[in-house]
Amino acid sequence: MKTILFSIFLCLCQYIPAQKILLTNGYLHAGNGEVIETALIGIEKNEIILIKNSLAFPYEPTEWDTVIDLTGHHIYPGFIAPNSTLGLTEIDAVRATRDYHEVGHYNPHVRSQIAYNVESKVISTVKTNGVLLSQATPRGGVISGTSSVMATDGWNWEDATIRADDGIHVNWPDAIQSDYEIEQIVKKKSADDYVNQTSELYQFFELAKTYAYSGMDKINDTRLEAMMECFKGEKRVYFHANELQQLIDVIEFAQHFELPYPVIVGGYDSYLIGQRLIDADIPIMLLRPHSLPLSEDDPIDLPYQLPSLLQRQGIKFCIQNEGDMEAMNARNLPFMAGTAMAYGLTEEEAVASISLNTAQILGVDGKYGSIELGKSATLFASKGSALDMKTNNVTFIMINGEMSATENFQNQLYQKYRNKYLRSKSK
């Protein structure tokens, strides 16, 4: 009965225009490593204005418009799914619902923000597992396009936008090509092919940098316009690369063009060159831990260990989910962090790997990624650990200070057919 009443209360709270909300007695995982076992979290409008221990800080409930008791619940900052097609695809097998791959090879001017579909039913299933932000990322070509950081709830793409056009995505040429059609024989690509492709990238970036600093007003090139902030502003350049040779070449490339904010996406072999990455100040969006090794000589559990290997070396990293069915599998992001926890990360390091670390890499940590004073009230509560698939049970969601539904159509279908079965069984 208590569970039913609590759910009804939360549903009603979505329609209460409360100005001041107090969350009490929850087990807080702040995202920055701090933990408060009985936390008080005060929220006014969309901002966190109070974080205290309820056992040591006296408070008067009447001073708050709404007080929600979260005893027995874990509270987390909204998890962030970087490098994702979430919101850009609905059914991968249906071409008409895929809106993440444009024609052409060099498309920095293609923007994922306006293609983001907040009405996606896939998004609702991801949100109700605690993933409240996503980096909508294009695919394909040499430069896929420009990503944007979006909320997993909102009226439209404008309303859901957290940070527009946060960075461009470069698919670094493969130094090794695998051919699995004929007895899975691994073939080496010719050195000339790799050199030619990287040379083309150098030429394009040279042109873009010249354009950015030329000051010529008469020429207007939309592709080069989209590149300007990569050299002169805070726009990231995300290099998708995994192999050791690729990573070394990416480091040299970023240093050659003096890119302010380079990021490596994938980074499978990054643990082999930790100090070089630290010296170059390049963070890693690590490939999903639930993967097979990329080399037949690697330990079968190496992908599980990679987060811990990077953590021990002091490399800034976060966990991402690129791969098969990545949009719907974004709901498993908390469990990937849980796997990393089982293979060496502490619980708070695992939480940071999908919250604050990600926010810092994306450049949105000023307002998101952790539960701290002055930050956006984007958080959720779970009855058990959110990193464990057996205990993750989200009962409270708030995005930018507004409560969001904790139900999705999959829950509704489950209850519908469960009730049908129970009724037929009782007859």
Residue 265 lies in a domain: yes
Number of structural domains, the chain? 2
Q: Give the model confidence (pLDDT) of 277-311 as tens digits.
A: 999 999 999 999 999 999 889 999 999 999 999 99
Query: Residues 126, 98: one domain?
Result: yes
User: Which are the contacts of 68, defined by CB distance < 8 A and separation ≥ 6?
Assistant: 9, 10, 13, 21, 22, 23, 24, 396
- For the record, the structure tokens of 3 come out as 């569970």
Helix H or strand E encompassing 279: helix 274-280
Helix, strand, or coil (residue 57): coil
Query: Residues 60, 98: one domain?
Result: no
Q: What is the CATH number of the domain that holds 273?
A: 3.20.20.140
Is residue 98 very low, low, confident or very high in pLDDT (cuts 50, 70, 90)?
confident
Percent helix, percent strand, percent coil in the chain, to nearest 5: 35, 25, 40
Q: What is the CATH number of the domain that holds 70?
A: 2.30.40
Residue bearing tokens 């926890």: 341
Comparing CA positions, the residue from 306, 408, 396, 369 lying closest to residue 22 is 396
pTM: 0.90
Residue 245 lies in a domain: yes
Is residue 2 very low, low, confident or very high in pLDDT (cuts 50, 70, 90)?
very low
Residue 381 lies in a domain: no
What pLDDT does 427 receive? 67
- For the record, the structure tokens of 143 come out as 């430069």
Q: Which residue has the higher pLDDT, 408 or 15?
A: 408
Residue 49 lies in a domain: yes
pLDDT at position 61 over 60: yes
Comparing CA positions, the residue from 347, 376, 331 lying closest to residue 28 is 347
Backbone CA torsion sign across 177, 182, 185, 187: negative
Residue 202 lies in a domain: yes
What pLDDT does 71 receive? 95
User: Are the C-beta atoms of residues 29 and 76 closer than 8 Å to each other?
Assistant: yes
* pLDDT mean over 238-251: 96
Instruction: Give 266-270's long-range contacts (Cβ < 8 A, gap of 24+).
Output: 266/240, 266/241, 266/242, 266/322, 267/241, 267/242, 267/317, 268/242, 268/243, 268/294, 268/303, 268/306, 269/242, 269/243, 269/244, 270/306, 270/310, 270/315, 270/317
User: Are the C-beta atoms of residues 74 and 191 closer than 8 Å to each other?
Assistant: no
Per DSSP (E only), the strands in 223-266 are: 236-241, 262-266
Query: Residues 214, 262: one domain?
Result: yes
Query: Residues 118, 68: one domain?
Result: no
Residue 218 lies in a domain: yes
Residue bearing tokens 């999903």: 288
Helix, strand, or coil (residue 51): strand
Which domain, by its residues, includes 70?
2-76+405-426
Residue 377 lies in a domain: no
Query: Residues 409, 334: one domain?
Result: no
Backbone CA torsion sign across 101, 102, 106, 109: negative
User: Are the C-beta atoms of residues 162 and 364 closer than 8 Å to each other?
Assistant: yes
Secondary structure (DSSP) of 100-168? SB-SSSB-TT-BSGGG--TT-HHHHHHHTTTEEEEEE--BSSSEEEEEEEEES--SSHHHHEEEEEEEE
User: Are the C-beta atoms of residues 90 and 125 closer than 8 Å to each other?
Assistant: no
User: Which are the contacts of 170, defined by CB distance < 8 A and separation ≥ 6?
Assistant: 142, 143, 144, 201, 237, 238, 239, 240
Query: Residues 254, 341: one domain?
Result: yes
Query: Residues 63, 87: one domain?
Result: no
Residue 385 lies in a domain: no
Three-class secondary structure assignment of 171-226:
ECCCCEEEECCCCCEEEECCHHHHHHHHHHHHHHHHHHHHHHHHCCCCCCCHHHHH
DSSP β-ladder status, 74-77 and 20-29: parallel
- How far out from the chain centre does Cα 420 lie? 37
Helix, strand, or coil (residue 88): coil
Query: Residues 25, 154: one domain?
Result: no
Query: Residues 24, 169: one domain?
Result: no
What pLDDT does 424 receive? 79
Query: Residues 219, 282: one domain?
Result: yes
Instruction: Give 214-221's long-range contacts (Cβ < 8 A, gap of 24+).
Output: none
- For the record, the structure tokens of 345 come out as 């990360």
Is residue 193 very low, low, confident or very high in pLDDT (cuts 50, 70, 90)?
confident
**Distance between CA atoms of residues 45 and 31, nearest Å:** 21
DSSP β-ladder status, 161-171 and 176-179: unpaired
Query: Residues 154, 100: one domain?
Result: yes
* pLDDT mean over 160-176: 93
Helix, strand, or coil (residue 339): helix
Query: Residues 55, 127: one domain?
Result: no
pLDDT at position 11 over 90: no
Which of 95-99, 202-206, 244-248, 302-306 has the weakest average pLDDT?
95-99
